[in-house]
Structure 1
Amino acid sequence: MTEQIDQSAAHARAYRPVQVAGQLTVGGLSCAGLAWIARGVWDVRLAVAGEPSAGPPEQGDGVHRPLNALENSYHLVTAVGAWVAFVCALLFLSWMWRLRDNARALSGRTPKYLGFWVYLGWVLPVFNLWIPRGIVVDAFRGSAPGRRLPRSVNVWWTLWLIGTFAGVGIVYRDSTDQVIERAYTEVWPLLMADTAVVGAAVAGAFAVRAVTAVQVERMRAVRAATAEMTGVA
């Protein structure tokens, strides 16, 4: 009995604060969603304005014409969006790490994925198709065994994959000037990718809130049970 109490108390002390990290991550995802809404608005503005008579910004053979005011503002919008996405990524990684550590303390078992996957899982080809979601799912199941995974987790990951690997979403294979040209000539793929990214940000915010709430609830329950056992002892 005493050993069980000591183990429960040790686990409770091992918990890392995840609620604030979750709230910050939700805020970061919300800002990222707004940044991609802005990109979508500028995509539409470029499409409506139409390509200038001088042609696309990149004219071949290393020749670039001077950008007009709308094109310059698109560069600014995309640069701000990139910084917002970077900050959001840092917040999300911090939240994932805390979530994973707390799940290990709650379950008493080794996580399915080693710690370095929290970072490398996002950037290594092929592995980035499932490992980030796998870390979240594994942490959820370690925190609340038997509970149903929130649907928002799967929605977030599906939209994230679409927005990342569409070639016109989060990871652009083209330069910003080439994307501007695509907005002039074929804006719909850009808008579809923008929609997927915004949807992923919204679903991600719901997923983070739901998973965090379940883990916080379980940690509070364990702390309360530990305090009761200690008092009885």
Structure 2
Amino acid sequence: MNDHIAPRPPVLSPVRWVARGAVMALALAGAAWVARALWHVRLAAAGMPDAGPLYRDGDRQRLPTPLEDGYHVVSSVGDVATLICALTFLLWLQRLRDNARTLSGRPPRYAGIWVYAGWIIPVANLWIPRGVVADIHHAGAPEARLPRAVNWWWALWLVAMLSGTGLMYADTTDEVIARAYDKVELLLAADAAVIGAAVAAVFVVRALTATQQRYAP
């Protein structure tokens, strides 16, 4: 009998379709934020109505213009697209993390809860999601450098998150409209960061998925 039996390759969960879903969701979210940015430009070009802002001292003082009503629709669609993108991206990330554990044969550096909690816990959300992605990459390609797209994606994500006018702003839609009339440059900079992060994330998804597909049967 032959005592030198080749080790069986690791059995990984399929990632192709969750990766395609993540890419499509990222494209949808990016398109939604492009529409939002264009609406910011339209609001800034139109200028504040002669009747003044929608709200003054907490009280509504006029009816919204058609352009302002349109922005409410664009903003709501963008929020839904962003939620779909987040859920789909997390599904992809969880699938690849499980596969990475199989490939490495040891527990990941971050427990499974951090795949989700790492995005919302203050301070921890500055590095843990990137760390999860880096661990996934190193499990599949331990000798390879981290793809540049990961650093671009994370840098743009932090700008969008910390800008105060991007992903994490606490203003109401009407307050964002007021910002567009007054300081549209800040809104457009945040929009550009979100759109750039979505584009970079597509390359991240493709790169990490390709690494794991090398082990597919």
Indicate the TM-score class for this superposition, using the shorter chain for normalisation. over 0.9
Residues 1:211 and 2:208 are matched in the alignment: yes
Q: 1:65 deviation in Å?
A: 2.4
Structure 1 residue aligned with 2:23: 26
The alignment yields a C-alpha RMSD, in angstroms, of: 1.4
Distance (whole Å) between structure 1 residues aligned to residue 65 and residue 156 of structure 2 = 33
Closer, same or farther in 2 for the Cα pair 1:4/1:104, shift >3 Å?
farther
Q: 1:170 deviation in Å?
A: 1.2
Residues 1:45 and 2:51 are matched in the alignment: no
Amino acid at match of 2:27: S
Matched ranges for 1:1-233 at <5 A? 5=7, 8=8, 11-12=10-11, 15-217=12-214, 219-220=215-216, 223=217
Question: Gaps (5+ residues) in structure 2?
Answer: none
Could you tell me whether the CA contact under 8 Å between 1:59 and 1:65 is conserved in 2?
no
Could you tell me whether the CA contact under 8 Å between 1:28 and 1:84 is conserved in 2?
yes
Distance (whole Å) between structure 1 residues aligned to residue 203 and residue 135 of structure 2 = 18
Q: 1:64 deviation in Å?
A: 4.6
TM-score when scaled to structure 1? 0.89
Matched residues, percent identical? 50
Distance (whole Å) between structure 2 residues aligned to residue 215 and residue 154 of structure 1 = 20
Amino acid at match of 1:177: D
Segment of structure 1 superposing worse, 129-138 or 63-72:
63-72
TM-score when scaled to structure 2? 0.95
Question: Gaps (5+ residues) in structure 1?
Answer: 224-233
Stretches (4+) displaced over 2 A: 1-5, 61-65
Distance (whole Å) between structure 2 residues aligned to residue 72 and residue 59 of structure 1 = 18
